Amino acid sequence: MAHIAIHADKMTLAEKDALIRICPFSAIRHEGDTLTINAGCKMCRLCVKKYPQFVQLVEESVQGVDKSLWQGVAVYAQLTERGVHPVTTELLGKAKELAGVIRQPVYAVLPGHPTDAAARECLRYGADRVYVYDDTCLQNFAVDRYTACLEDFITRVKPCALLFGATSPGRSLAPRVAARFRTGLTADCTKLEMRENTDLVQIRPAFGGNIMAQIVTTRTRPQLCTVRYKIFTAQTPDDHPKGVIVPMALPDGARAGDIEVLHVKRKPREVDIAEAEVIVAAGRGVKNQRDLAMLEELAEALGGMLAGTRPMIEAGWLDPRRQIGLSGRTVRPKLIITCGVSGSVQFAAGMRASDTIIAINTDPNASIMSLAHVGIVGDLYEIVPALLKKIREGGGLDV
Ligand SMILES: Cc1cc2nc3c(=O)[nH]c(=O)nc-3n(C[C@H](O)[C@H](O)[C@H](O)COP(=O)(O)OP(=O)(O)OC[C@H]3O[C@@H](n4cnc5c(N)ncnc54)[C@H](O)[C@@H]3O)c2cc1C
Ligand code: SF4
């Protein structure tokens, strides 16, 4: 870490004005008699080069943590009405793989009430220890109480990494926990790798999906990240797990949270393309909104759902919850048929792990063709009706 220091007391007014003008990012400002640098500073060091007599680059030595004190890969186990959220079981599978590299245990941390069945579920999916905070005050998700539990868990157990599902509770908890420990958090990772020195390499698309950034928290612990549902695969559950459940006492003050849940109103079940086993995805090759009916029919005939690329959503032709991709949902169906989709990196980021990909496109060189298991070069307006006819005649889809 470094910062820029300006010795404004040694400068004339003219020199101060000249220094302000030299910064290409307008980061230097007058503040009374002195000069300050704001958050716009990009550390380009131009000011240091031009005025070395007044401006200095100050290197700060940052004390790193003793990494050997932080052991184990932990997963925040999200409790739902139907047991743990499936992203938890996926993350436990990944945690097992990561912990295997450094020969450390896998933990689940489970706040909620009641937790018995969910805790056993975590054991079956690979946790060596499930730390349970069970109290009636945790029955409904309250971010302040849950954060207090996670803070307590980290302080006592000291895991080297903690993985959260990128669900609404996971996304609101992770940054609060990161702030309490002044540590790094990487959102929406698509790949995780563990180094021998326990540094977690958190990989995610950056700059609009044009690069895959590798982010490493080298100086602080724990390392926190969120991962969307359906990015990883849950391991086959073990019906005779050897792990243990560790009851934890509710931390002091957690009961007196600032949030009181007065009433819970169920939302109607939303369209969730992430759950679909078959998806028909519409792209800009579809010329009219009414033509989507043909793709909807194909989806229905296959017992699946209709989804689409971002332009379909931007045109108002499809509900935003049906968007696949970097700024939409991640899907992992058994079968996806893309119709008139080019296969941009942003779209592919949300569906490349699908079991079988069939692409219908007039352009044999479209990017989607290199991703597809089966590429059909042709006009979707001819191919989709032909597929429908075949399915209705009972021919199914031979892929
Ligand atoms: C930060 C950022 C985030 C983004 N996030 C997303 C995201 O989450 N999801 C997403 O989808 N996009 C996203 N985008 C947009 C993305 O870059 C692409 O613009 C978009 O995916 C293209 O959609 P498309 O394939 O439908 O359209 P196009 O790229 O225009 O492709 C249309 C395809 O249809 C084919 N075609 C045309 N007519 C026919 C026909 N009759 N029969 C068969 N094929 C035909 C063409 O050959 C072409 O390949 C994002 C962009 C940015 C910058
Ligand atoms: S380092 Fe660059 S951006 Fe920062 S104050 Fe100096 S000139 Fe401006």
Tell me the mean pLDDT in the region 79-95: 95
Q: pLDDT averaged over the chain?
A: 93
Q: Whose CA is nearest to atom 7 of ligand 2?
A: 23
- Note the pLDDT of residue 153: 98
Task: Quote the percentage of the chain above a pLDDT of 90.
Answer: 84
Tell me the mean pLDDT in the region 89-106: 98
DSSP string computed for 34-50: EEEE-TT-----HHHHH
Whether residue 396 has pLDDT greater than 70:
no
Q: Answer whether 23 contacts ligand 2 (Cβ < 6 A).
A: yes
Same fold, 2-59 and 67-247: no
Q: Which tens digits make up the pLDDT trace of 173-184?
A: 999 999 999 999
Question: Alpha helices, DSSP H only, in 167-276?
Answer: 168-181
- Tell me the best of 31, 46, 59 to mutate to test the pocket of ligand 2, counting ligand atoms within 8 Å of each CB and taking the most: 46
Biggest CA-to-CA distance, the chain: 88
Which residues make Cβ contacts (< 8 Å) with residue 108, sequence separation at least 6? Answer: 74, 75, 76, 77, 88, 92, 119, 122, 127, 129, 130, 131
In the CATH hierarchy, which fold is given to the domain comprising 2-59?
Alpha-Beta Plaits (3.30.70)
Q: Determine the distance separating the centroid of ligand 1 and the alpha carbon of 214, expressed in angstroms.
A: 26
In the CATH hierarchy, which fold is given to the domain comprising 67-247?
Rossmann fold (3.40.50)
The whole-angstrom separation of Cα 117 and Cα 135 is 15
Tell me the mean pLDDT in the region 270-287: 93
Question: What does the CA dihedral 269, 274, 277, 283 come to, rounded to 10 degrees?
Answer: 110
- Note the pLDDT of residue 269: 75
Q: Which tens digits make up the pLDDT trace of 41-52?
A: 888 999 999 999
Question: What does the CA dihedral 216, 218, 220, 221 come to, rounded to 10 degrees?
Answer: 60
Strands 129-134 and 106-112 turn out to be parallel
Residue-range domain boundaries for the chain: 2-59, 67-247, 273-392
Tell me the mean pLDDT in the region 160-165: 98
- Note the pLDDT of residue 99: 98
Whether residue 399 has pLDDT greater than 60:
no
- Note the pLDDT of residue 62: 67
Contact 8, 16 (CB under 8 A): yes
Q: Whose CA is nearest to atom 4 of ligand 2?
A: 41
- Note the pLDDT of residue 1: 66
Instruction: Using DSSP, state whether 252 is helix, strand or coil.
Output: coil
- Note the pLDDT of residue 365: 97
Q: If pLDDT is split at 50, 70 and 90, which confidence band does 70 have?
A: very high
Q: Retrieve residue 149's tokens.
A: 């539990």
Q: If pLDDT is split at 50, 70 and 90, which confidence band does 59 have?
A: confident
- Tell me the best of 330, 341, 351, 358 to mutate to test the pocket of ligand 1, counting ligand atoms within 8 Å of each CB and taking the most: 341
Task: Return the ligand number nearest the Cα of 210.
Answer: 1
DSSP string computed for 195-223: -TTS-EEEEEEETTTTEEEEEE--SSSSE
Tell me the mean pLDDT in the region 340-360: 95
Q: If pLDDT is split at 50, 70 and 90, which confidence band does 271 have?
A: confident
Tell me the mean pLDDT in the region 203-225: 91
Q: Which amino acid is at 171?
A: R
Q: Which tens digits make up the pLDDT trace of 113-146?
A: 999 999 999 999 999 999 999 999 999 999 999 9
Q: Retrieve residue 16's tokens.
A: 């101060």
The whole-angstrom separation of Cα 298 and Cα 301 is 5
The whole-angstrom separation of Cα 288 and Cα 284 is 9
- Note the pLDDT of residue 33: 87
- Give me the CATH code for the 273-392 domain, please: 3.40.50.1220
Q: Which residues of 11-38 are buried (b: 16+ CB within 10 A; e: fewer)?
A: beeeebeebeeebeeebbeeeeeebebe
Q: Which amino acid is at 49?
A: K
Q: Determine the distance separating the centroid of ligand 2 and the alpha carbon of 33, expressed in angstroms.
A: 19
Whether residue 304 has pLDDT greater than 80:
yes
- Note the pLDDT of residue 367: 97
Whether residue 235 has pLDDT greater than 60:
yes
- Note the pLDDT of residue 81: 87
Q: Answer whether 397 contacts ligand 2 (Cβ < 6 A).
A: no
Q: Which tens digits make up the pLDDT trace of 314-327?
A: 999 999 999 999 99
Task: Return the ligand number nearest the Cα of 51.
Answer: 2
Q: Whose CA is nearest to atom 12 of ligand 1?
A: 310
